[in-house]
Structure 1
Amino acid sequence: MSESKRIWATLDPFFEPGPVLGRKVANTKFLRALLAADPYDEYRFFLGDAGQSDRLAAHLKKVAPGMIGKGRVHILDRRELPRRLAEEPVHCMHLSDCITSQPQVAALRNRYSRNIFPVTGTIHSLSCSTFGGQFLRHLWPGTTRRDAIVCTSTPGREAVARFFDWLRHGYGLDPDRFPAPTLTHIPLAVDTDELRPGPPGAKGGTGADPVRLLVFGRISHHSKMDLLPLLRALHRLVRQGMDPASVSLTLAGWADDNDDFLPTLKDLAANAGIRMTVALRPSETEKTALFHDADIFVSIADNPQETFGITLVEAGAFGLPVVASDYDGYRDIVVPGVTGLLVPTIGPNRTDDADLLAPITFDNQYHLLLAQRTAVEIPALADALKTLILSPDMRRSMGVAARQRVEAEYSWPETVRRHVRLWDGLWAEPVDPAPLRDAPHPQAMPYAALFGHYTSRTLEPAFMVRPGATGEAFYRGRDFPPLYSGLTGAIDPGLARKLVFLARNSVDTASLIRNLVDTEPGMDVATASAHVLWSLKHDLLERV
């Protein structure tokens, strides 16, 4: 690893306005924690449009104003990436999602960067029906052992490994010829300074006060979790003799407008005599108050859209014990009998109709089919709730243990340290750059090969060219061809002027391109060819 300076780079803003989603919150918090830790000399964001760049710049002025003022944070046009990688390799490039662009970034690195630096991306939800094609892009000869997918949970890591096994089997891909990125486990985190337990003695749960159960997240039967089993479990406890006034239930978070799910839950709660309140779209202040007021946090995920379970970590940060389904990343977070209780789940071993319907139906439709075949065992759920409802001492001890576990394992500084160790450690993986340089990605469309027959002819080495009429005037400073904004960084008018000079006595394009490459440091044949074609297009050069 030889670097004049350590540069962290990305294609993503890690900051998205709009509706609150777990992925958006996690990415925003990660960026803030990375810049606060400040392990690198520079941070480069290669973004896709001006609006994205403006929003990120405004955000960074709030969270890292000094770094922008010192020129250590650079927001760049994504089309500059090949040139920038050729001029100065980065230490690592990390993406907020492994699904979108990670293999393409690796292909650009292989072609342009002197050093094969680590390229990493993080998993979020994995169950979208289109993700098979997205993960297939990772399986190509240009993937190296320095590329990694950061899995936020151990079940998520196993799911990604199963993706690659399934794809290799289905397409007959040899693992040696079609390697996959390294899979590593680094969890998401929370801000343990912002999320803290409430003052001692502020909660009820003894005497005449009800034990307060809190559910926080997306309230939807087709996304994340179906809450009907929770109401059934509470109703079961009432039938067994529990005083319905001894508990209260709060559902908080986000729900779809005009969804009939909430009215159904309200009817079931009323039938059981359980007092239930709903708090939709709470502010951060209201959210903190809800957690401080609660005695037990409940989350019974049953949907493959869930991969990690950030609300369970938040509950632990607030010092709450958890009753949760034994499902996906939840089993990473909850230590049974120590920080909470896990409820067994039963799932399908075949999903043939859902598998075939998923590509031709909406996301919520096939996720509903899948979730309704995952059962959270209601008797066990009722028993877990009863255990904590009847034991204030257990609730308090589990809450203390949960807080300690979050501080040790799920704080943003710790998560950033794990990422930095990962990026440094990946450099130790052996890589032979030579076979990577010209390895095309099989899903990167070769436009010239696919559409070259559209033109009368293609640029051939034997073409003789000379300065065009506009080229002569351009060279003498009497004419200036317009450079469209979308070509900034891709076309350099100074190089076009040099082409006019090099072609002054007529020259074949092979020699012209070779001469430009020889006289311009860092120039490659593809870039030189693009400048020749642009010059022909704008009458700076003409074919003899």
Structure 2
Amino acid sequence: MSHSKRIWGTLDPFFEPGPVLGRKVANVKFLGALLKLDLFDEYHFFLADRRQGNALREHLQKVVPELLEDGRIALFDRRELPGCIARTPYHCFHLSDCITSQPHMARMRNKYSRAFFPVTGTIHSLSYADFGGAFLRHLWPGNTARDAIVCSSRPGQVAVENFFEWLRESYSLDVSHFPAPGLAHIPLGVESDVLTPGEPSKEHAEDGGTIRLLVFGRISHHSKMDLLPLVRALHRLFANGLDPASVELVLAGWAADEDDFIPTLKDYVANAGVCMSLRLRPTEAEKVELFRSADIFVSVADNPQETFGITLVEAGAFGLPVVASDYDGYRDIIIDGETGLLVETIGPDATPDVDVLAPVTFDNQYHLLLAQRTVVEIPALAHALRMLIESASLRRSMGDAARQRIEKHFSWPVVVRQYAALWEELWKRPVEEEPFRDIPHPQALPYGRIFGHYTSRSLSPDMVVRAGRTGEAFYRGKDFPTLYSGMSMIIDPELTKKLVFLARKPVDTGSLIRKFMEVEPTLDKNSAHYHVLWSLKHDILERDRD
């Protein structure tokens, strides 16, 4: 599909202030890579409010000021979507999270766009108790071959497939009437040109040096990973003869100051004889220093909140070998025995107690219940750690292989080009557009149908109206009805004056709307109908009671 301009659109800022979490980092880095690679002529953001717009503009001014100065980035109010989609040939719309608005974006495209551009969204954490409803929204008759959910890992893709299978079984939904979007696999990435190995700064274990194990991420027993199995694995090594002074555990990442898990962890580590240093909420510069000063990266995820594992990719970019649990997207990133070592895990095949409890408890509570029955085998973990602690050559070879793998498969330019290829491929899929135009989304409320009985009557084609006193003054420029913030995207005062002219004598609304659309061909029937009702509300028109 080709147009005079290639325009990329989204409903999301891809930029969020606040605590540094994996989803936020992935989104902002994707956006930066997309804009720096600059594959499109324009980039349109349809945002929820002015605060979002101001924050994004400030961020973009730091990242790609030249695109802002050239007018190639446009920030819109989300209420402008219908009009923009109707008149703009978008190449694609991509959302930062498939959970939020992707099906409703597809519905809006179906209704207003001249050509059905691809609509895509990305998965992040998938394990929240209310996500069944979010994925149910994806099963609706308006899905087309140009709609896709982008899965950052193959295990994550299987989880989405399982969602759809479970929902269809639960609601008896026939796949032919309730299709799902397509699924594509594209990983997250890192800035491999920024995250690079440092110069060796110390001697290694065979020369009596201390081997530094780095754990980086959310520090929480109910989110991402339980660290106690790692401590037990180190204690096992010490009991089997490894010198405790030869190993330092560096724990870094995000945790709340008031979290009572940190003191408990410190006591546990001290009792096990492990030398540990703790670095909370490091800056980007401190993060780079932490990775470059480490010898081995360790991540023993046991929590279904984890879907991909961006820290493992970062570790590979820094040339670190990884010891990780054989869990979720980790096995997409690590080639066992080549770029790191994967430790086998054991988990339940059914969770009936959590299934019932999760919808009425906090996410940290049910995630803890799930994680505490997911086993990262401690003997195998200890064995993997010992292999890398005792062999500098193995660390170097695995670290070098990890760096090469990241550059080839997980650098952001490589990842963004995969998205561009996906959007091109989706365009090639044939879609017969007209049958999709008027398919409503079953979870988008038909407000008129549900609440239409609240008013005394509805605006019917045979209702006779005429210009009101305010309307006549407005037409002559002697009165100025109030147009609230946000309404200027919906109501055009100059068009309203044409309504006054057409209704200078009593006329039924059916005829009035038909004539209105004849003199203003850009109006659709719904917009014309809205202008009439707004004019009645503000005394520009009034019902003729004679």
Which residue number in structure 2 is paired with residue 164 of structure 1? 164
Shift of 1:2: 4.9
1:255 and 1:46 map into 2 onto residues whose CA distance is: 33
Percent identical among aligned pairs is 67
- Higher mean displacement: 133-142 or 503-512: 503-512
Matched, 1:112 2:97: no
Q: Deviations over 1:303-355 (max 9, x none)?
A: 00000000000000000000000000000000000000000000011111101
Provide the TM-score with structure 2 as the length reference: 0.98
Match of 1:187 in 2: 187
Is this contact kept in 2: 1:153–1:307, CA < 8 A?
yes
Task: State the one-letter code of the partner of 1:426.
Answer: L
Distance 1:364 1:509 in 2: 56
Q: In terms of mean alpha carbon deviation, does 439-448 or 427-436 score higher?
A: 427-436
Listed as ranges, the matches of 1:11-22 within 5 Å are 11-22=11-22
What is the correspondence of 1:351-370 to structure 2 with a 5 Å cutoff?
351-370=351-370
Residues 18-38 of structure 1 deviation map (CA, whole Å, 9 limit, x = unaligned)? 111111111111111111111
Match for residue 31 of structure 1?
31
Please report how far the alpha carbon of residue 511 of structure 1 lies from its aligned counterpart in structure 2 after TM superposition.
1.4
Indicate the larger mover: 391-400 or 206-215: 206-215
Aligned residue runs from structure 1 range 476-495, under 5 A? 476-495=476-495
Per the alignment, residue 435 of structure 1 pairs with: 435
Look up the match of 1:424.
Answer: 424
Offset of 1:69 from its aligned partner? 1.1
- Counting only pairs closer than 5 Å after superposition, residues 37-52 of structure 1 correspond to structure 2 as 37-52=37-52
Work out the number of aligned pairs and report it. 544
Q: Distance in 2 between matches of 1:203 and 1:189?
A: 31
Q: Is the 8 A contact 1:190 1:314 kept in 2?
A: yes
Instruction: Give the CA deviation at 1:490.
Output: 1.1
Shift of 1:148: 0.5
Question: Which whole-Å CA distance do the structure 2 matches of 1:491 and 1:156 have between them?
Answer: 44
Q: Which amino acid aligns with 2:100?
A: T
Q: Which residue of 2 aligns with 1:137?
A: 137
Aligned AA (2:347): G
* Contact 2:19–2:254 (Cα < 8 Å) also in 1: no
Q: Does 1:221 align with 2:221?
A: yes
Letter in 2 for 1:241: G
Question: Counterparts of 2:19 and 2:252 in 1: how far apart (Å)?
Answer: 15
Work out the CA distance in 2 between the residues paired with 1:42 and 1:134: 30
CA distance in 2, matches of 1:36, 1:255: 32
CA deviation map 1:20-57 (0-9, x unaligned): 11111111111111111111111000001011111111
Q: 1:346 maps to what in 2?
A: 346
Distance 1:262 1:78, change over 3 A: same
Aligned counterparts of 1:9 and 1:25: Cα–Cα separation in 2: 20
Moved over 4 A (4+): none
Q: Deviations over 1:107-147 (max 9, x none)?
A: 11111111111000000000000000001001101111100
What does residue 258 of structure 2 align with?
Answer: 258
For residues 64-463 of structure 1, the aligned pairs below 5 Å read: 64-202=64-202, 204-463=204-463
Aligned-residue offset at 1:258: 2.7
1:538, 1:116 → 2: CA distance?
38
Does the aligned pair in 1 maintain the 2:220–2:226 contact within 8 Å? yes
One-letter amino acid matched to 2:213: L
Residue segments in structure 2 that go unaligned for 5+ positions in a row: none
Structure 1 gaps, min length 5: none
RMSD of the TM alignment (CA)? 1.1
Report the 3-state secondary structure (helix = DSSP H, G, I; strand = E; otherwise coil) of the residue aligned with 1:314: helix
DSSP 3-state at the match of 2:382: helix
Q: What letter is aligned with 2:163?
A: F
Q: 1:398–1:466: structure 2 CA closer, same or farther, 3 Å change rule?
A: same
- CA deviations 1:204-242 (Å, max 9, x no partner) are 434221111110000100000000000010111111111
Displacement of 1:474 in angstroms is: 0.9
Q: Is the 8 A contact 2:106 2:119 kept in 1?
A: yes
- Matched letter for residue 248 of structure 1: E
Structure 1 residue 203: deviation in Å? Answer: 5.7
